Structure 1
């Protein structure tokens, strides 16, 4: 368990500022939800953390040290929205998971580790030879989680991992995230546009709007009495919830 910290991070694309001086901490062993509409900058912040978006300012630290973004054994592992595009269709799911295991293990040990990881995400190890096209969307997302865990990350970044799934499958994946966090003590940045999803998995929530964090705090506190108009708008979009300023209904 390790702490991930963003300090005044800025990301620009040409004249457009996608992330504007964001500071945010993911404490060791906690799930922090980052919520906002499409275009708010939340996925860009995640991509900056794993070296996929260039920073124009600020720092990203792991236990106080700059996060390395090169080399095979990266301490941050990202799970993307579309599990099919993140898995090589030419490889079996076992091969995809094995590819992410740090070097040094024997072939037998790697095979055993693949089986353990598939079981961890509630997939039958006997299906290790299956191709991604043979699995459902929910099963592919479980493989993506297993692959991320295979790298033995210090922090997992989950970017809209349920938004491409059927509603009936989303709950099972969210339950799996909660189970993995509880059993493994994961530190996780969980990104979503849906406050109801974040409420279910995160102990702390940060709300992002136009590239900035406009509100953050313990999830129960922010959702019960949001301070910012944008947070209230997001909350009003969740079925069964209506809020006025400072008071839940």
Structure 2
């Protein structure tokens, strides 16, 4: 297990500052929910962590180290995107998609991959792909299919399997259920919660849905205008918010607003 620590993260696009001087700690084995209104910078922050947004300044530390797990080109942080169809290559089978993320040492556990016969390497790779597909509830027999043959919920499970196949210390989930039907969202969230507890990775869960954040998160961080304005244990932040931006978010959700008034 590893923690994720962000120190002074700033992201600028020309003259526009999307994220400014954000410090945040996601303790090992826990889930931090990152919330905020549209344009608050929460998704930009997640992308900056994995190098998909231009970080002007700041440091990203995993287990206290900026280079943790980067040996052999392996990243310790994996991002699962909001739209699973857009994030999966439509020309690749889902088996090939998951296989692409596997660390080299996972392909052959007993014999170094460079010395193993091609047939042995392929069999080991197929076994690992099947294991990760089963882990997210996808029948390994579907490994030969392309994303267009799957439902939205199944595609998001494949995207999750691909991220987990890289054996990340930290997972960033960016609005991963917002593009799914309501009937599917619960199943994906339950799966994510179970996998996080079983595998023990730290997770930054980005969402605008406070009910989902409350269900998944150990702590909640609130962004507003590119700044981190509040952070603390989930129950404290959602029941006794200290910052006006947090109170405004909660007021937009009837169940939370009523609970706050009753307290």
TM-score, normalisation: structure 2: 0.90
SS of the residue corresponding to residue 233 of structure 1 reads: helix
Residue 2 (structure 1) aligned with residue 17 (structure 2): no
Secondary structure in 2 matching 1:206: strand
User: How far is the alpha carbon of 1:72 from its aligned partner?
Assistant: 3.5
Deviation at 1:40, TM superposition (A): 0.6
Give the CA RMSD over aligned residues: 1.7
In the alignment, is residue 11 of structure 1 matched against residue 11 of structure 2?
A: yes
1:176 matched to 2:191: yes
What SS does structure 2 have at the residue aligned with 1:148? helix
Q: For 1:165-197, what per-residue CA distance to the aligned partner results, in whole angstroms no more than 9, with x for missing partners?
A: 111111111101110011111211100111111
- 1:126 equivalent in structure 2: 141
Alignment of 1:140-219 (within 5 A): 140-219=155-234
Give the TM-score taking structure 1 as reference length: 0.95
Unaligned residue ranges in structure 1 (runs of 5+): none
Give ranges in structure 2 of 5+ residues lacking alignment. 108-120
TM-superposed deviation, 1:247: 5.9
Of 240, 243, 246, which residue of structure 2 is paired with 1:231? 246
Q: Which residue number in structure 2 is paired with residue 61 of structure 1?
A: 61
CA contact (8 A) 1:30 1:187 kept: yes
Structure 2 Cα separation of the partners of residues 137 and 46 of structure 1: 22
Shift of 1:82: 0.5
CA distance in 2, matches of 1:205, 1:137: 27
- Any conservation in 2 of the 1:94–1:114 contact (CA below 8 Å)? yes
Distance 1:62 1:42 in 2: 19
Distance in 2 of aligned mates of 1:124 and 1:237: 40
Query: Alignment partner of 1:145: what SS?
Result: helix
Aligned twin of 2:114: none
Shift of 1:135: 0.6
Please tell me whether Structure 1 or Structure 2 has the larger radius of gyration of its CA atoms. Answer: 2
Q: How does 1:98-113 map to 2 (within 5 A)?
A: 98-104=99-105, 105=107, 106-113=121-128
Which residue of structure 1 lines up, in the alignment, with residue 91 of structure 2? 90
* 1:111-164, Cα deviation, whole Å (9 max, x unpaired): 111111111101111111111001111100000000000001110111110111
Residue 58 of structure 2 corresponds to residue 43 of structure 1? no
Deviations 1:19-71 (A, max 9, x none): 01100001110011100122111111111111111211221111221147896
Contact 1:82 1:161 in 2 (8 A): yes
